[in-house]
Structure 1
Amino acid sequence: MNKLSAKHVTVISSQTVTPNMQRITLQGDALAEFPADCEGGYIKLMFTPSGGTDIEALPEDERPILRTYTIRRFDIDKQQIEVDFVRHITESLQCGFAARWAMSTQAGDSISIRGPGLIQNMNTDADWFFMTADMTALPALSAKIRKLPQDAKGYAVIKVENEQDIQPLDAPNGIEVKWTTEETLHDTVTQLEWLEGDASVWCACEFDSMRALRQYFRNEKQVKRENIYISSYWKLGVSEDGHKTIKQQDAEEQGA
């Protein structure tokens, strides 16, 4: 990987917004090049194999390790982005050092990133909307729901660790927001009344949960393929690199 493609940013602030979510604000001149519609897209944080952020110290033949996180908000005038991290500690360094960094970093620290990458937008011409996320995808849902038409109707279902992790959402009045702590996303989603007309679906969560919801939205409810974005952001017990391989295999099986 070419380390010259890295964008260097500085931590402006770090705050614990809920017991299980840390919000980091990053600033850098390179962020002025980001497109105005990058909210809900993603950046890749660059680490050394030991979880450090000084990638310049890596040997020429050693690639930085990438970890993907959502751009929750973008302020082009201030050249700042907000990035939310689920607060968690795992025994595996590879599965958790981005979260470890987020929980310990302070204003003035620096890190290298790549991006932004953009994800598929929702079809806002649909009759109604169904959004689903767990905590890893809550930042993306927060950004995407702000872009819905003001007269939008439908549902947003979010699974969080506990009630203290519930956050305010800037959602249209017609979107019924449901938070769940105990039930699976699939169980909560399938209990809701399916509305009339064409649905536009946005769904992002853990891999196994995503597959259950894909079965429901695509096969049971036959949502049009052009009206659905469904993705896994992680897989339980697997590093991001392992998850990427699993996603590629799943996409091939689905004929994507």
Structure 2
Amino acid sequence: MQKPAFQTVSVISTQQITPNMQRLTLAGQGLAEFPSDCEGGYIKLLFNAVGGTDLTGLDENNRPVMRTYTIRRFLAEQQAIEVDFVRHITQDNQCGFASRWAMNAQVGNTISLRGPGIIANLNTAADWFFLTADMTSLPALSAKIKQLPENAKGYAVIQVESLEDKQKLQAPDGIEVHWITEGLADKARSLEWYEGHAAVWCACEFDSMRQLRQYFRNEKEVLKDNLYLSSYWKKGVSEDGHKVIKRQDAEENS
């Protein structure tokens, strides 16, 4: 699938859905070209060097800053997508470009984006399923879990800032959903490991991903074709810095 060029979309809805999550609905004619299976995929939001959305002053030597976010829901008839943003606020009241923009966005505001990019699907022919996420990857898990077979069994373990951040998921009855505020790896290890081949979907903070990789890949020996592992961010590191660390880690653990 060829990715569309940069396009501009408008905010048509904004809502704080939990204490630490903001949901924006973005609409634009170009979104009509998005594939029907784009939910759970990603877009790149574009900012200038100071975190604004005006890109008119940029040129080849001054490229936009890109931040990656998940398409939580695709509203084809409205030519729109829902995108969830973690409301990152540090003790000094600072937050990243995208989070700050989302928290202050008003209906009618515009932003440029690129996408969509599609991430790997779960092997739905597996005997059972194990999904893990933190708040940054919760939108992707929300899309992936509703694609599971109706008779699927297994677990979804989701780390949130507060239990007030729990969301309603469209999960099969056989999927046990665990909302936690402690470490993902510790909780994953505490759950019974079923017989048969598991399909694992894991996306979270870099250090948590490495702990889960040790468990799923090295200890439980989940089949390579059944294993999706990704870090969406690293604590204390910008997205650009995280990309470098992520690439180095992939080369060392391929």
TM-score in same-fold range (> 0.5): yes
TM-score normalised per structure 2: 0.96
Q: 1: CA distance between counterparts of 2:29 and 2:93?
A: 34
Q: Judging changes above 3 Å, is the alpha-carbon distance between structure 1 residues 64 and 92 closer, same or farther for their aligned structure 2 residues?
A: farther
Mapped pair 1:65 → 2:70: no
SS in 2 for 1:77: helix
Q: 1: CA distance between counterparts of 2:144 and 2:106?
A: 28
Q: What root-mean-square deviation, in Å, do the aligned CA atoms of Structure 1 and Structure 2 show?
A: 1.3
Aligned to 2:201: 202
Alignment map for 1:85-234 (pairs within 5 Å)? 85-90=85-90, 96-181=96-181, 183-234=182-233
Match of 1:41, as an amino acid?
A: G
Aligned to 2:55: 55
Q: 1: CA distance between counterparts of 2:240 and 2:248?
A: 13
Match of 1:224, as an amino acid?
A: L
Aligned to 1:30: 30
In the alignment, structure 2 segments of 5+ residues that lack a partner are none
Aligned to 2:234: 235
Quote how far apart the aligned CAs of 1:6 are. Answer: 1.0
Q: 1: CA distance between counterparts of 2:195 and 2:243?
A: 36
Identity of aligned residues (%): 67
Q: 2: CA distance between counterparts of 1:161 and 1:60?
A: 39
Q: Judging changes above 3 Å, is the alpha-carbon distance between structure 1 residues 56 and 5 closer, same or farther for their aligned structure 2 residues?
A: farther
Quote how far apart the aligned CAs of 1:88 are. Answer: 1.3
Match of 1:223, as an amino acid?
A: V
Mapped pair 1:252 → 2:242: no
Q: 2: CA distance between counterparts of 1:52 and 1:186?
A: 37
In the alignment, structure 1 segments of 5+ residues that lack a partner are none
Which stretches of structure 1, 4 residues or longer, exceed 6 Å deviation after superposition?
A: none
Aligned to 1:80: 80
Quote how far apart the aligned CAs of 1:89 are. Answer: 2.2
SS in 2 for 1:5: coil
Cα shift readout 1:78-128 (whole Å, capped 9, x = no counterpart)? 1010000000124697x6111000000010000000000000000000000
Match of 1:215, as an amino acid?
A: Q
Q: Judging changes above 3 Å, is the alpha-carbon distance between structure 1 residues 228 and 177 closer, same or farther for their aligned structure 2 residues?
A: same
Q: 1: CA distance between counterparts of 2:247 and 2:184?
A: 23
